[in-house]
Chain A
């Protein structure tokens, strides 16, 4: 993250401005991805007018970065009306899609409306593997066609690949293929629980002996976590640092109007149909509870030997153990591997038994 962007993010975080918001417009989808967090409910999704009202409220609250996701956003017939409204309200708009429905006309409209980036999920260049994740035969071919149409129209396109058991073997081929064609390519080992809190998708995370293999790749060792690290303000006491931006400068809004601190943190804080967004953001008991947690409140993590290498996700910790202040096994594992790969680790003395145990279990 550039210094200027970091300074702005810090300012938003300290002032509790919801600077970045992910807004899922629908839970409907034309794929059935095995790892997906979405759970369709019987409640009606927000209408066009209700979405407009949310956008107005987010603009008034100071949100700049707005990511439309789902479900598949292009399944909403009012998608472009919503994007147009958001751009008129001067949001920086990003869109997450599987690109199955992208046509030349759709690509052109996205560019015309000033969408700043489209993120497309690609799981492998092997059709069998990719389609095995989406459970939609032929989806890899159509997704890559959609990505190319967007790129040809002048859109900045990023291919996102969640690193999980089904995708980890093919990441290098995808990286090389994407970069050779001018796409940004991003990998993320974070697999989120379902939106109702069901942790089933977590079973698909890469296994204990795979992170070494992955993180040894020069691309990941330097790039996979730093860019995703949550912004933290400069604090005189490191213990006062904030675990991540969730509830401080970012949040998630579901298609049903529920507001959460983060898409990875299934803690509903209120519904926009019942309370104004700003009231939920500023006064919700749940939001304030998440916001009140500092690094010093993390009993295990604050003394951990590999804390400097850790990108612990509070939402992940909550899903794994029901504790916002507890460690996250996935983060512990990744931190240990990163520590092992760092030059400084050999000089460290590990006092923490649990950490030492994890390190011993991770092949060097």
Chain B
């Protein structure tokens, strides 16, 4: 996976409860709960940060080895993209519209 920019699907309803994100996809009402690391990835998936930067922050915050963080995160992002919960963009929105 190249260094793309994960962006939450803004249609997804969510709140963080006790450190874990609770997500609801309004299109099928499926509910997801994320562990703290996945929650942090979700929060950072604002379309502005590339995957490498998110991995770097996880390394700093959770003491996860950057390579492992990157690998796990790519699997997570791929799965969430397939579920329609987020998209992986080649550029942040500013670049697209700039």
Measured CB to CB, the residues of A under 8 A from B are 2, 4-5, 8, 11-12, 15, 17, 19, 62-64, 87-88, 90-93, 114-117, 156
Stretch at the interface among B8-16, B44-52, B66-74, B89-97: B8-16
Complex Cα–Cα for A192 and B60 (A) = 53
Q: Is residue B1 within 8 Å, beta carbon to beta carbon, of the partner chain?
A: no
Q: How many residues of B contact A (CB 8 A)?
A: 15
Q: What are 22 A-to-B residue pairs whose CB atoms are below 8 Å?
A: A4-B31, A4-B33, A8-B22, A11-B18, A12-B17, A15-B17, A15-B18, A19-B17, A62-B15, A63-B15, A64-B15, A64-B17, A64-B24, A87-B11, A87-B13, A88-B10, A90-B13, A90-B14, A90-B15, A92-B13, A114-B27, A116-B13
Q: Which residue of A lies closest to B16 (CB)?
A: A62
Q: For chains A and B in complex, what number of residue pairs have CB atoms within 8 angstroms?
A: 48
Shortest beta-carbon distance from B28 to chain A in Å: 9
Complex Cα–Cα for A11 and B22 (A) = 12
Complex Cα–Cα for A8 and B27 (A) = 21
Q: Verify B26–A116 contact, CB threshold 8 A.
A: yes
A92 neighbours in B (Cβ, 8 Å): 13, 24, 26
Q: Verify B17–A156 contact, CB threshold 8 A.
A: no
Beyond A62-B15, A93-B13, 15 additional contacts (C-beta under 8 Å) are A2-B31, A4-B33, A5-B31, A8-B17, A8-B33, A12-B17, A15-B18, A17-B17, A63-B15, A64-B15, A90-B12, A90-B13, A92-B26, A114-B26, A116-B26
Q: Verify A91–B13 contact, CB threshold 8 A.
A: yes
Task: Report the 3 A-B pairs with minimum CB-CB distance, sorted nearest first.
Answer: A92-B13, A114-B26, A114-B11
Specify which of A2, A12, A116 is in contact with B24 (CB 8 Å cutoff). A116
Shortest beta-carbon distance from B82 to chain A in Å: 19
* Binary interface encoding of chain B residues 43-83 relative to chain A, with 1 for a CB under 8 A from any of its CBs, else 0: 00000000000000000000000000000000000000000
A117 neighbours in B (Cβ, 8 Å): 29
Task: Find the residue from B10, B17, B27 having the highest chain A CB count within 10 A.
Answer: B17
Q: Verify B29–A116 contact, CB threshold 8 A.
A: yes
A93 neighbours in B (Cβ, 8 Å): 13
